[in-house]
Amino acid sequence: MIGHTKCAAGVAGLIKASLALYHKILPATLHVEQPNARTFDAESPLYVNSETRPWLQPEGGIPRRAGVSAFGFGGTNFHAALEEYRDDLLPEAPLHPRWPAELYLWAAPDKTGLQGALNVLEAALDSGARPAAADLARNLAADFQRAAPGGIRLAIVAADLADLRRQLAGCCAYLERGEALPAGVHLCDAPPLSADAVALVFAGQGSQYPNMLVDLSIQFPELRRAWERADLVLQLHLEARLSSYVFPVPAFRKTERAAQAEALTRTDIAQPALGAAGMGLYRLLERLGLRGGHLAGHSYGEYVALCAAGVLSEDDLYRISYIRGRSILAAAQETPGTMAAASADEQTVTAAIAGIADVWPANLNSPRQTVLAGTEQGIAAACTRLEAAGIATRRLQVACAFHSALVAPAQTRLARALADFTLNAPQIPVYSNTNAAAIPTIRRRLRPNWLST
């Protein structure tokens, strides 16, 4: 955002629009606190883009386009329409060259070897060396990947070279005198984990929120492609693009922000949105070389885990997620109910709410958290009883009472819908979130997913 450039008016805008198209980013307009209500009312297609957001593919696959207007002091006005280049002559836009932090990696046979490598870098920085942070991180990563297996490995996350220098000093203090490692430093001398020692768990409904994964969606094409694919698959089913619920236009009032969050809780929107978020993240992790030998999902997240395992295609995941959400809404239309988390184990929670009707333990998340599902009246009474007993509670951002009898009628509708989809054998073991066992029969398992605790 710069002042008037006189006879060069519009050149900065042309550069800005060109870069926005190239990087597929909607850049923020700065310093707007309250747009003019007469121009930017609820019915207007215009809005102030006060937040940097991913520029997703427009509907119908049309190219991204931008308009630039320039008004010179001499009275000459210029207008330009720009369109993105979409053929394959040029490579895809590179990742942002300047991250807010960099990852620095070392591998050595033992602590003595590691300390020697750190001392060399310390001496270089102390003597005035100022390498670009990204270049230094890249070179260290290349050495790290060539290192022999075993030994000791060190990872440092630092914002700049000064921060890195402080972290190095802390590491050397640890290696020389046994002092505590500083925050942001990770040291390991155990054998590297294999994929079989890593499990990936996908989130369930209630974890969604407007602008979730916005930073990653701006930087990484894997995330953008997931949102764009879900938009395309569901374009005939939703009133607006799915991604428009996840990345709504910037809101300047609390009531507007609350309405945007409420719209994203609708089950037939939240579930495919979480599906796209989960698959985008999964594709990104694959690109980064992180693969899990085991998959699981929390409630709805089990569907995303099955997609990652190859049971469902990505398109079918979005279709089933939408159908599942609609089935639940239809089944719970008259009494949708709600859910609440209680900070105690199941036995303590059920004892505290004994005698309250229409409330069921839904999620046994941990020995310190139990989620309840039930009618509005039942959950309200349960929360009052639990708070009086000194047990903290929190209402969840969900559209109905999942994992309870209130959504049971949806099972038949979903079972009929699932018969039309191709379900493959999992390429990676997927573990049930009801009994922690590998899922043997996929089609039978998907039906009661939302009914079981």
Q: Spot the catalytic one: 207, 217, 243, 403.
A: 403
| The total number of residues written for the chain in this structure | 453
Is the pLDDT at 40 greater than 70? The verdict is yes
Sequence spans of domains, the chain: 6-83, 102-192, 199-333+407-446, 338-398
Fold of 199-333+407-446: Malonyl-Coenzyme A Acyl Carrier Protein; domain 2 (3.40.366)
Looking at domain 338-398, its CATH architecture is 2-Layer Sandwich (3.30)
pLDDT at 148: 85
**Closest among 451, 447, 203 to 323, alpha carbons compared:** 447
What are the backbone dihedrals phi and psi of residue 306, each rounded to the nearest 5 degrees, phi first?
A: -65, -35
Residues 6 or more apart in contact with residue 171 via CB below 8 angstroms: 118, 154, 156, 181, 182, 185, 187
pLDDT, position 92: 64
d(CA 124, CA 241): 53
pLDDT at residue 76 is higher than 80:
no
Is 96 noted as a catalytic residue in this protein?
no
- Flag whether pLDDT at 408 surpasses 90: no
pLDDT at 237 over 90: yes
Can you say whether residue 122 is alpha, beta or left, with left for phi > 0 and alpha for psi between -120 and 50 degrees?
A: alpha
Lowest mean pLDDT among 9-18, 169-178, 404-413: 404-413
* CATH topology match: 199-333+407-446 vs 338-398: no
- Catalytic annotation on 186? no
* 55 contacts 93 by C-beta, under 8 angstroms: no
Query: What are the DSSP calls for 279-315, one per residue?
Result: HHHHHHHHHTT---SEEEESTTHHHHHHHHTTSS-HH
Q: What is the pLDDT of residues 87-117, one digit of tens each?
A: 877 666 555 567 889 999 999 999 999 999 9
pLDDT band at residue 407 using 50, 70 and 90 as cut-offs: confident
pLDDT (0 to 100) of residue 410:
75
Q: What is the pTM of this model?
A: 0.86
As a whole number of angstroms, the distance between CA 345 and CA 88 comes to 56
Per-residue pLDDT tens over the stretch 324-361: 888 888 776 767 889 999 999 999 999 999 999 999 99
Judged against a pLDDT cut of 70, whether residue 315 lies above it is answered with: yes
Task: Name the catalytic one among 207, 299, 327, 404.
Answer: 299
Residue 446 pLDDT: 61
Please give the mean pLDDT across all residues of the chain: 89
CB 296 within 8 A of CB 199: yes
Which stretch of 255-259, 425-429, 439-443 has the lowest confidence by average pLDDT?
Answer: 439-443
pLDDT, mean of residues 5-32: 88
